Structure 1
């Protein structure tokens, strides 16, 4: 690892030289295209200041920079970069790709790389970016056939299929980087030095994560839940570490990754205990213990629940004892984390009351409380542990106010969770599901309910993008970035059903690509 670290430090200034400021429009365009490569290859964290300086300087020159630019890949990529970094670049830039009939030109279909870039850009649309709705429809209709035509290079076909399965906007950065490094290597015009740098960096990250996983595995095994709990719970510590890597992949965030992994395993155990095994009165007893938050409270719980409460107590104490950033954790931060945990558990108790009784909540009430129960919000609180003291305090105050951006993320998480788990919920008589309550409130069929909820998710995606751009004008990027990454966890966890619950599929592939198969140098 030391040798890899030295190589990274030696190559870093060379790559940084590619970002040197220039006044000409073509050079500025090239710099932004390089930023896209840095993001896609997993190198952006090494050049945070340079990237921000470049985008800040370039945003005011957009009109001149894109004057006469008709290359689809170039325009889409520049748009993707600016929107991803919180700059509200106008979607009117895509009007140049329409014909006299007001529709996207059919000739664009011949540009496979440009089409997949347009598809990626379309996922960054807001509620008023109607042209991006058209772009998404246009690309979705054509990309599958483009991927299968003999004229399309095999590596671009793979890139298209990967994008159709999980757009970059929704994908974990390191999962995407692992795929994109392979794609970039097959590009005829790839920069050999940049490719080498990306591989060395990714190998260094993998070795860092593997070392941490060894420590976390020992930590997890000491609880020995298999002998202490009935066999109702999901053993998902490694999957929880993927969540942690999604939030903080950079080497310097080792303690933050460990804390997020521990909290995520806690929420899994709590959810499985209350959702799949405990009676309503037992759930109420557990929530009461957490409200009291005293170590002796566990003695009043059923025997099988006592290790669950002890685990919760230990996870919070471990985060308090270790600290996350150099400043450590203040008492106030611990109090805020515990309060978010209590809010989550109150929502969970409410869910169990709905699930185990004949009470049918109003659909909006269900979504509001369901957004708390689905662990999106409490997980966002945990991600702020890795921030510096100032940003952390700002982040917690912002989270507590439950802004529209946060609520949209929570609602989206609730809906995709319920759609993925509907069949399982109904098979075991679990009534607390948005599909079920939507059908009851509006008197529609299951198929109609699914169709409406899918529309809601698409609308929430636009609201999330819109509110992100608004919040980016005042909030530090490091705060917003954590929320974006929580959204990504939701997206890839429910891509093809409940992948986190049924982890033999895609999650197994993720584990292998990140922690088992080291990237070849």
Structure 2
């Protein structure tokens, strides 16, 4: 499908930032597949599908079975739906025998929430709707994939990914919420010019500018301060959270680091040329000088 971003190498690079240790080799393969599904889903809702097609896909994923209208949909949409189901079926085959089917179930739940947020943003973008900043962030902090990515990351981590870890994630802890908000703001600030140039006005920066009548520069300054304030919450939560293993908290921070690399120099996944390309060459290609 030509509209999919061909980013397997970039996605694996980001997977390495989650866990590089030898014992997580299988987990890295699983997470690369999950990142691929997330990316294809985002591209489908954000840049390609009509609203009726997006609704059909979202309804099918909510039911985890084909919508009544799926048979009449374009082949690409059927392919996307089947791909998603096949990937999760593969995950179930790998961890079900270990008694950890709950990890797949928990990830599916988060993925459904992600899909709903994709659809909500697609509907807003279709009519060039600029909601209040608060309404946008309520949807946008889910759409940035932090919750779903955390769930997908844990699937391959064996005994560390306990039922309690998934319940903790489901409870919307302040740590993940703060990291999600920061990720959303970084993404929107990095991609603001590109989004506006293609007529995509439903972004956090634009919502803030419209609601408060401020310039882009003023909005950036305010959103940056929000990120600083959220960093303080993150530090506090890292010190006080006792409900899950420290390794789970480490994965949350690794996810935030990945986001910082992805959006620290622009929209790194959409436009990997430059810093991301340099990092990839450094990690995979360039020889280590002794």
Per-residue deviation, residues 240-292 of structure 1 (Å, max 9, x unmatched): 11122111100011111011110101111111111111112211111011112
| 1:368-447 correspondence runs (5 A) | 368-389=138-159, 391-447=161-217
CA distance in structure 2 between the partners assigned to 1:433 and 1:329 by the alignment:
41
When the two structures are superposed, what TM-score results if normalisation uses the length of structure 1? Answer: 0.53
| 1:115-134 correspondence runs (5 A) | none
Does the alignment pair 1:361 with 2:131?
Answer: yes
| 1:83-94 correspondence runs (5 A) | none
Choose which of 505, 512, 519 in structure 1 pairs with 2:274: 505
Choose which of 471, 479, 485 in structure 1 pairs with 2:254: 485
Residue 347 of structure 1: aligned partner: 117
Residue 225 of structure 2: aligned partner: 455
Residue 306 of structure 1: aligned partner: 78
| 1:16-35 correspondence runs (5 A) | none
Contact 2:106 2:166 (8 Å CA) reproduced: yes
Contact 1:355 1:430 (8 Å CA) reproduced: yes
Structure 1 residue ranges (4+ consecutive) displaced by more than 6 angstroms after TM superposition: none
Choose which of 287, 294, 319 in structure 1 pairs with 2:91: 319
Give 1:388 deviation, angstroms. 3.1
When the two structures are superposed, what TM-score results if normalisation uses the length of structure 2? Answer: 0.93
| Aligned partner of residue 272 in structure 2, secondary structure | coil
Residue 246 of structure 1: aligned partner: 17
Per-residue deviation, residues 369-392 of structure 1 (Å, max 9, x unmatched): 111101111001111113334642
Residue 470 of structure 1: aligned partner: 240
Q: How many residues align?
A: 289
CA distance in structure 1 between the partners assigned to 2:191 and 2:67 by the alignment:
36
Residue 7 of structure 2: aligned partner: 236
CA distance in structure 2 between the partners assigned to 1:396 and 1:251 by the alignment:
24
| 1:160-179 correspondence runs (5 A) | none
Give 1:448 deviation, angstroms. 1.2
Give 1:416 deviation, angstroms. 0.5
Per-residue deviation, residues 439-483 of structure 1 (Å, max 9, x unmatched): 111111122111111111122122211211111x45311110110
Contact 2:192 2:203 (8 Å CA) reproduced: yes
Distance 1:261 1:329, change over 3 A: farther
CA distance in structure 1 between the partners assigned to 2:227 and 2:31 by the alignment:
26
Q: List runs of 5+ in structure 2 lacking aligned partners.
A: none
Contact 2:130 2:206 (8 Å CA) reproduced: no
CA distance in structure 2 between the partners assigned to 1:265 and 1:316 by the alignment:
12
Per-residue deviation, residues 208-240 of structure 1 (Å, max 9, x unmatched): xxxxxxxxxxxxxxxxxxxxx2x3221111111
Give 1:333 deviation, angstroms. 2.3
CA distance in structure 2 between the partners assigned to 1:390 and 1:242 by the alignment:
23
Distance 1:387 1:443, change over 3 A: same
Per-residue deviation, residues 333-366 of structure 1 (Å, max 9, x unmatched): 2221111110000011111111112543221221
| Aligned partner of residue 202 in structure 2, secondary structure | coil
Distance 1:470 1:270, change over 3 A: same
CA distance in structure 2 between the partners assigned to 1:329 and 1:270 by the alignment:
28
Does the alignment pair 1:263 with 2:34?
Answer: yes
Contact 1:354 1:431 (8 Å CA) reproduced: no
Q: List runs of 5+ in structure 1 lacking aligned partners.
A: 1-228
Give 1:319 deviation, angstroms. 1.2
| Aligned partner of residue 194 in structure 2, secondary structure | helix
Contact 2:60 2:67 (8 Å CA) reproduced: no
Contact 1:385 1:392 (8 Å CA) reproduced: no
Contact 2:128 2:200 (8 Å CA) reproduced: no
Contact 1:320 1:329 (8 Å CA) reproduced: no
How well do the aligned residues superpose, as a CA RMSD in angstroms?
1.8
CA distance in structure 2 between the partners assigned to 1:401 and 1:307 by the alignment:
33
Structure number with higher relative contact order (C-alpha < 8 Å, ≥ 6 residues apart): 2
| Aligned partner of residue 190 in structure 2, secondary structure | helix
CA distance in structure 1 between the partners assigned to 2:67 and 2:208 by the alignment:
42
Contact 2:187 2:267 (8 Å CA) reproduced: yes
Contact 2:160 2:247 (8 Å CA) reproduced: no
